[in-house]
Structure 1
Amino acid sequence: MSLPHSSHRPRVLVVDDNAAFLDNLQELLGDAGYLVEGASSCREARERAGDGFDVALVDLRLPDGEGTALARELKEKVPESEVVLLTGFATLETAVAAVRAGACAYLMKPCAPNELLLTLEQAMRQVRLQAEKRELARRAQVTEKLAAVGTMTAGLSHEIRNPLNAAALQLSVLERRVRRLSEDLQPNLLEPLMLVRDEIRRLDHILEDFLQFARPREFRPEPVELKTLLRRVVDLLGGQADARRVRLELEGEGLLSVPPVWGEEERLRQVIINLAINALEATPAGGLVRVSAGREGDMAWITVDDTGPGVPLEVRDRLFEPFFTTKAQGSGLGLSIVHSIVTQHGGTLEVDSSPEGGARFFLRLPLAP
């Protein structure tokens, strides 16, 4: 099995009402490794832009509007993108209008393939530069939050864990006393006790997330058999999948070619379990969660796909931030801890759209030396 491709290939939106020119550009750019979407009008371009793009090549004259106005709209709709304007009638006025519209380049039609590809690569360089700036800003924000968590940890450990332990102990004593009563009295008394016990456990788990995130353990890697690890996780979560009436599958074809990865088995199991549970919780009854794996060079890859609603584009960049969550309950640290573990292992973790229609979590890990 080969490495599953997603939206990592640069996306180009070509807007031109000349069908032959549009076909030529789609073929040329497709052969150069770009994912190309075509549009022949402003209306169609607005619709296509909803799927996202990195660079838009926009003709100045379109049947239902001006390319300069469309360029402004596209930049507002996808601020992290770049726009290159195309025209067969270049004047000083159109060049100035292109700059005012926020275009990063201006090309005469017909343009030489080499010139077009060079301009497109320069535009992509600007897109990547802006993405790097956003990533640096995000990391700085995460670092600030990590510092805050570290400051809170010592106090949390003492001020919350001790009262929780005392409450759990007294609740256990009370439960034993209730169970000594006559059976007809027990149900009404045990029901609120069980509710309190579950809430104490939930608070304890949240506290444990804080402590684990703020004070990660020393990293002691060794070879880990991926096939065995994934099989154990799928077997472990089989009961939860059945209870939710969701099919949980391990696609084993790619595993046959994967040597051991380099890491800590217990922590990698925690990563896969967390991702799989999130997928199960997001998938409606009758749906599917599929775990797949394979090898690409000196890295192993693992994907967790589901048929749930997916992860909206506007929250994907924040999904691994500490305390960020889309759930009604929880600490917002689960995926942050997962991301931290993967980073400590020298790997990467990304979220994308799944071919199954839901979300795809895409994990890369280095192979054992």
Structure 2
Amino acid sequence: MVRFISRIFSPVTNSEQETRRHILLWILIRVMLFTLLITITTYLREKGHPVILPPASVTSLFLLGIYGFSITSALLLRKAGWPARHFAISQLFCDTVFYALVVYSTGCSQSNFTALLVLPVIAGGLLLYRIGALFLAATATLLYGGLLALEFFDRVPGYFLASAYRPPATILTGINLFAIYGLIFFLAALLSGQLARRLSATEEKLSRTSLEYDRLSILYKQIFDDISTGIITTDQNDFVTSYNQAAERITGYPREKVLGQPFNRCFPAIRLLEKQGRSVCDFLKNEGTPIRIGYSFSYLNMPGQERQEDRQGKWKVITLQDISQIERMERQMREAEKMAAIGELSASIAHDFRNPLAAISGSAQILAMEHNPLETLDATTFKTLVAIISRESNRMAKTITDFLQFARPAPIQPEWFDFNRVVDEVIAHLSAGTKTAAVTEIRKEIAEHLDCWADRQQMQTILGHLLENASSAMGASPGSIVIAAHDNDRTGDGQGSLWVEIRDQGPGIPPELRDKVFTPFFSSRTDGTGLGLSIVRQIVENHCGTVEIDSATPQGCIVRLRFPLPQGVTP
């Protein structure tokens, strides 16, 4: 019954069908309420309580009339084509008359059921808004005033005399009751009408909000399912809570096998460390196909998870992408760029070979013109011609060597070695020639027994190019070249690095040219091929390291190299 009452007093929309539903519920409430009231009153009278009630025959006839009227009204409401609002006001008007009859037959001004007259007024406010409520309030007030008038003129049923009924002493008593109940009826009409208006407006806004929410939910689900990026969310315990179609397509694992399972158990190759950012890994799909996956994650600020210090207990969203094709395209692009550079290098070599070949050819022709060059040419001329042939041959050999190092770099074969010893070997090799003749010294700032993990031969190549460039940059100016190296402290994940710096006291490199010096064939030296720094960067990147150029103070240049040290490998 409580449920029916709550439904009957809920606000209606402008729908005709909704109004008819409320009227049917109100008819059912009427039948139940009158039956309950008459049954309880009859029971109390049988128990000897001073209750004013008509004879049983009259009461039964009245109750049957209520039943008949309610059944007829329900049938008419379903079959007749009357407007629902007109039918509602007629029903509530009849209810007001029925309640007035109950009040008249149970003691008029002394009736215990006078407050029932407010029910049709409240129902009218909820079903018909303020106008209907005010009409029913006026009807209830007039009917109650008529009952008080009948009572004042002693027009009451005869069975009142056999009960505890006492007529009002003065007319003021009736006027007072009329004023009080009339005010109550109109206040109930105003309040119920206002409440119905607000409830109707709230329901309309709620309906619009619910519709927008449904649309947003559908849009979110559509985006979540159709986006090409795999999306996985986990709760505070790292259990998978959502898993879109792209993630299912990338990983090959069906949704029913992933949802509700621990993330680390389903995808052990994807490591979600504390540090957020983009990472890559080798991933084996469900059917066994190996792919490369790029992934990242971020924390979700879910309700109840606002604690910033407990980052391990937070919800996460993980995004996945299959980057196998992208990496293949990048490799192809790098190969294409490399082939273009090799083609340019080939043209440069062909151009650079002309002068050495011309010098060698001229020297050889002079020697060939003499029948016995050792006897006919003086020693100075003979040595000069041989020196030209040797110098130009070495120049051509160095160009070929640089070309091969750039065009076909050898695979790295890393090992642990003493960095100091390699530096000493490179310095000794350079000092044996004329490359460092103008340099007063090459100083080392390297700790004893500093171990390096790299390809030993390629490290010699790197140091040779950099020291040769530093010596050439200083020219005939006195000064020194400093080569420094140190390894940094290992981080929490066991990763460390070796840092190498080569500093000179030359004029330095202008900031606008620092990015160009790594371009193949870019050189400010007349005897250079422009491949030295390109080879250096290529070797360093093959070691997964970095190289950068900075300016020294007050003058000079600093070339800074970083070589990552392996995790879990000790010298």
Q: Compare the two structures and name the one with the higher strand fraction.
A: 1
Within a 5 Å distance, the mapping from 1:86-125 to structure 2 comes to none
Moved more, 222-231 or 298-307: 222-231
Give per-residue Cα distances to partners, 1:124-150, cap 9 Å, x unaligned. xxxxxxxxxxxxxxx999865522244
Q: Which of residues 278, 281, 286 in structure 1 aligns to 2:478?
A: 286
Offset, 1:193:
3.6
Count of aligned positions: 223
CA distance, structure 2, for counterparts of residue 299 and residue 173 of structure 1? 57
Indicate if the aligned counterparts of 2:374 and 2:382 stay in contact, CA closer than 8 A.
Answer: no
Give the corresponding residue for 1:211: 404
SS of residue paired to 1:181: helix
CA distance, structure 2, for counterparts of residue 295 and residue 309 of structure 1? 29
Are 1:249 and 2:435 counterparts? no
Distance 1:178 1:235, change over 3 A: farther
Q: Which runs of 5+ in 2 are unaligned?
A: 1-330, 490-495
Offset, 1:331:
1.6
SS of residue paired to 1:273: helix
Indicate if the aligned counterparts of 1:178 and 1:190 stay in contact, CA closer than 8 A.
Answer: no
Counterpart of 1:331 in structure 2: which amino acid? T
Moved more, 146-155 or 291-300: 146-155
CA distance, structure 2, for counterparts of residue 184 and residue 335 of structure 1? 43
Offset, 1:191:
1.3
Counterpart of 2:444 in structure 1: which amino acid? L
Are 1:362 and 2:560 counterparts? yes
Indicate if the aligned counterparts of 1:351 and 1:360 stay in contact, CA closer than 8 A.
Answer: yes
Indicate if the aligned counterparts of 1:291 and 1:305 stay in contact, CA closer than 8 A.
Answer: yes
Give per-residue Cα distances to partners, 1:27-68, cap 9 Å, x unaligned. xxxxxxxxxxxxxxxxxxxxxxxxxxxxxxxxxxxxxxxxxx
Root-mean-square deviation (CA, aligned residues, Å) is 3.9
Q: Which of residues 302, 316, 325 in structure 1 aligns to 2:500?
A: 302
Q: Which of residues 212, 229, 254 in structure 1 aligns to 2:422?
A: 229
CA distance, structure 2, for counterparts of residue 272 and residue 192 of structure 1? 33
Within a 5 Å distance, the mapping from 1:147-186 to structure 2 comes to 147-151=339-343, 181-182=374-375, 185-186=378-379
Indicate if the aligned counterparts of 1:247 and 1:286 stay in contact, CA closer than 8 A.
Answer: no
Are 1:275 and 2:466 counterparts? yes
Indicate if the aligned counterparts of 1:349 and 1:362 stay in contact, CA closer than 8 A.
Answer: yes
Counterpart of 2:458 in structure 1: which amino acid? R
Give percent identity, aligned residues only.
Answer: 28
Offset, 1:207:
2.2
Offset, 1:288:
1.2
CA distance, structure 1, for counterparts of residue 365 and residue 548 of structure 2? 42
Higher relative contact order (CA 8 A, sep 6+): 1
Distance 1:156 1:321, change over 3 A: closer
Distance 1:310 1:143, change over 3 A: farther
Give the corresponding residue for 2:551: 353
Offset, 1:289:
0.6
Counterpart of 2:479 in structure 1: which amino acid? G
Distance 1:144 1:317, change over 3 A: farther
CA distance, structure 2, for counterparts of residue 331 and residue 325 of structure 1? 7
Distance 1:323 1:184, change over 3 A: closer
Give the corresponding residue for 1:321: 519
TM-score by length of 1: 0.51
Distance 1:358 1:211, change over 3 A: same
SS of residue paired to 1:237: helix
Offset, 1:152:
7.1
Indicate if the aligned counterparts of 1:323 and 1:332 stay in contact, CA closer than 8 A.
Answer: yes
Offset, 1:247:
1.9
Indicate if the aligned counterparts of 2:506 and 2:555 stay in contact, CA closer than 8 A.
Answer: yes
Indicate if the aligned counterparts of 2:481 and 2:505 stay in contact, CA closer than 8 A.
Answer: yes
CA distance, structure 1, for counterparts of residue 400 and residue 545 of structure 2? 26
Indicate if the aligned counterparts of 1:303 and 1:363 stay in contact, CA closer than 8 A.
Answer: yes
Counterpart of 1:263 in structure 2: which amino acid? A
Counterpart of 1:314 in structure 2: which amino acid? E
Distance 1:245 1:147, change over 3 A: closer
Indicate if the aligned counterparts of 2:500 and 2:562 stay in contact, CA closer than 8 A.
Answer: yes
SS of residue paired to 2:522: coil
SS of residue paired to 1:366: strand
Indicate if the aligned counterparts of 1:142 and 1:322 stay in contact, CA closer than 8 A.
Answer: no
Q: Compare the two structures and name the one with the higher helix fraction.
A: 2
Are 1:265 and 2:459 counterparts? no
Q: Which runs of 5+ in 1 are unaligned?
A: 1-138
Q: Which of residues 303, 323, 338 in structure 2 aligns to 1:146?
A: 338
Indicate if the aligned counterparts of 1:250 and 1:291 stay in contact, CA closer than 8 A.
Answer: yes
Give the corresponding residue for 1:343: 541
Offset, 1:278:
0.9
Indicate if the aligned counterparts of 1:347 and 1:365 stay in contact, CA closer than 8 A.
Answer: yes
Give the corresponding residue for 1:22: none
Offset, 1:242:
6.3
